[in-house]
Structure 1
């Protein structure tokens, strides 16, 4: 079963975020807290949404997503920020179910596209994405400004 996350899921979501960070070889990079996740997902101006995959044994995984916008399409898109399935639930269709759920949500909301990023070393995930019809954006690279560089850019005036 996949359902929208509720405030009662914050501790589970943070646990999944930490497990995902460890899987992605960045276990110390998580700055999120229960309070910041609660504000981001359930505050006055939510920045993102989350869904939980679960069965009779409890939560098996989650996805966090938000809307972006394509000026070329003139419509919003759905961007998958994180998808995580617990090790015991992998290979049982949970990840695919989460992707199908989000794709259906994107279609229902009139989104022009559904997109996400994947680490280039995650061959298992990339193989799944190719099987479902996802296409790598070979001519594009992600750019990021954060931390001190973000502060310097903001202060540079311009």
Structure 2
């Protein structure tokens, strides 16, 4: 079995979109998927990409992906990589694709002078938590994610628009 991790191209957009939908179904969040594929493509492969994607292939077939972007640590004074989503199709799990994706991301972080690689994991996802810990990741228990979206985002941003 041949494994390959490579940067996604615009030609991979249908695969990436399907893997995002598959991830949402796995996380029981299919109802939250609202992206338009053309807009997603512009944000990933357009003139000013907002995120990057790595694709994991097994024998030439796309079986997983990692979508990530740069963040910045003011305390470190260096960039970091934030992994937004990592997913490997169930039938391809156990073959090392998840580990290969994380190794590729860690390699990119090192090559780009990043201080760290970070991501979030759902608290009920015990298999993923165990997997991440086996790779040396540690849980940041003292931190909580905050989010402003939908109407609250519109309301908060309305002051700067006026």
- Structure 2 length normalisation: TM-score? 0.94
Q: Aligned residue for 2:147?
A: 144
Correspondence list, 1:1-158, <5 A: 1-156=4-159
* TM-score with structure 1 setting the length: 0.96
Gaps of 5+ in 1: none
Runs of 4+ in structure 1 off by over 4 angstroms are none
Shift of 1:156: 4.5
- The alignment covers a number of residue pairs equal to 158
Deviations 1:100-140 (A, max 9, x none): 11001101110000000000000000001111110111110
RMSD: 1.3
Give 1:57 deviation, angstroms: 4.8
